[in-house]
Chain A
Amino acid sequence: NAGVTQTPKFRVLKTGQSMTLLCAQDMNHEYMYWYRQDPGMGLRLIHYSVGEGTTAKGEVPDGYNVSRLKKQNFLLGLESAAPSQTSVYFCASRGGGNEQFFGPGTRLTVL
């Protein structure tokens, strides 16, 4: 099992450009999450999903959109990137237990 994978690993964008981050899990987990990690701020929840076709806002959702068309995939979109969105993005999934399984992260820089 690959667990949780994220694509791409690194990306540099210019202000105003758009992009989509892909998260995939092969553990048949219902719940999926997108976090961002910034220095001194820990992990902050952007959006999450409790099942295929459902999404909900987390702590810092502004400027991001998500979709969960397939159970195994959770996409995070930036429609018009801003320098404040420079961060490391982590996807996580959770099954029946309480622990989350994290992907390796995507390092995004917005110039």
Chain B
Amino acid sequence: DQQVKQNSPSLSVQEGRISILNCDYTNSMFDYFLWYKKYPAEGPTFLISISSIKDKNEDGRFTVFLNKSAKHLSLHIVPSQPGDSAVYFCAVTGTGTYKYIFGTGTRLKVLA
């Protein structure tokens, strides 16, 4: 049973518009959430994170929102650029555990 779900395998967005990627989790014990970006033939790279004591974290064009009651987080990219085209993974972890659980990924394509 998947504890972390990214229900949209793919997403296409026009350059300059907003990209919204979603992630749902099942266990309320998770208290730290991360987004990674992966280009083909490369390893994932860390993008942005948020702890459960916050509901929003911004870093330039990237904003992560956390809704603890819904067990849902989202990544907003504004404005989207062609170089943002990649696979995005959400990951979760909890205090006292060294393990991370990853979602299945969403492939974002930003159209020029």
Interface of A: prevailing SS: strand
Residues in chain B near residue A92, CB distance under 8 A: 43
Is B32 in contact with A98, judged by CB distance below 8 angstroms?
Answer: yes
B45 with A102: CB separation less than 8 A: yes
Chain A: CB-nearest residue to B93: A98
The count of chain A contact residues (Cβ–Cβ below 8 Å) is 25
Question: Which residues of B does A touch, CB under 8 Å?
Answer: 4, 6, 9, 32, 34, 36, 41-46, 49, 89, 91, 93, 98-105
> Which A residues form the contact surface with B (CB < 8 A)?
4, 31, 33, 35, 40-45, 48, 50, 56, 58-59, 90, 92, 98-105
Q: List 23 A-B contacts (CB under 8 A).
A: A35-B102, A40-B9, A41-B104, A42-B4, A42-B103, A42-B104, A42-B105, A43-B89, A43-B91, A43-B102, A44-B102, A45-B100, A45-B101, A58-B99, A90-B44, A98-B49, A99-B49, A100-B46, A102-B43, A104-B42, A104-B43, A105-B42, A105-B43
